[in-house]
């Protein structure tokens, strides 16, 4: 047992405190880097899919909603990363999931409606 590297030594109080210490999550710098990369990358994806979807034959109010919702969702998702870290983890962790789900559903809607109209639906 002395040679097992996966079992940390728990011989003293200091060893136990070191192993059971609270994880405070990612640092401010890493969170800022990841947030910027996700904001710009996901926004470009939504820009491309939204530009294609804007030419669909769905009602205008539906097109506007389905183009705006992903941008609001990405702000809600990434903003809640920060709020989870610095305000209330118990509450805003759920907002991360809700924002991501809204983003995924809006992207899927844009994608599948556009593909349906381009490839399957009958042209007038």
| Of residues 95, 94, 77, 68, the one with CA closest to residue 39 | 77
pLDDT digits (tens, 9 = 90+) for 41-63: 999 999 999 999 999 999 999 99
**Distance between CA 64 and CA 104 in Å, rounded?**
17
> Where do the domains of the chain lie?
26-120
pLDDT digits (tens, 9 = 90+) for 96-117: 999 999 999 999 999 999 999 9
**Distance between CA 55 and CA 114 in Å, rounded?**
8
Residues 108 and 45: beta-carbon distance below 8 Å: no
* pLDDT at position 93: 87
Q: What is the pTM of this model?
A: 0.74
* pLDDT at position 67: 94
DSSP type of residue 57: S
**Distance between CA 32 and CA 38 in Å, rounded?**
10
């Amino acid at each position: 047992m002395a040679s097992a590297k996966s079992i940390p030594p728990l011989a003293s109080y200091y060893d136990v405190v070191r192993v059971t210490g609270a994880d405070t999550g990612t640092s401010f710098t890493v969170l800022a880097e990841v947030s910027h990369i996700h904001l710009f990358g996901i926004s470009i994806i939504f820009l491309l899919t939204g530009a294609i979807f804007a030419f669909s034959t769905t009602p205008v109010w539906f097109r506007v909603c389905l183009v705006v919702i992903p941008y609001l969702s990405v702000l809600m998702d990434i903003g809640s990363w920060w709020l989870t870290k610095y305000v209330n983890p118990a509450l805003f962790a759920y907002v991360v999931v809700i924002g991501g789900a809204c983003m995924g559903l809006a992207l899927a809607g844009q994608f599948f409606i556009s593909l349906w109209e381009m490839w399957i639906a009958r042209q007038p």
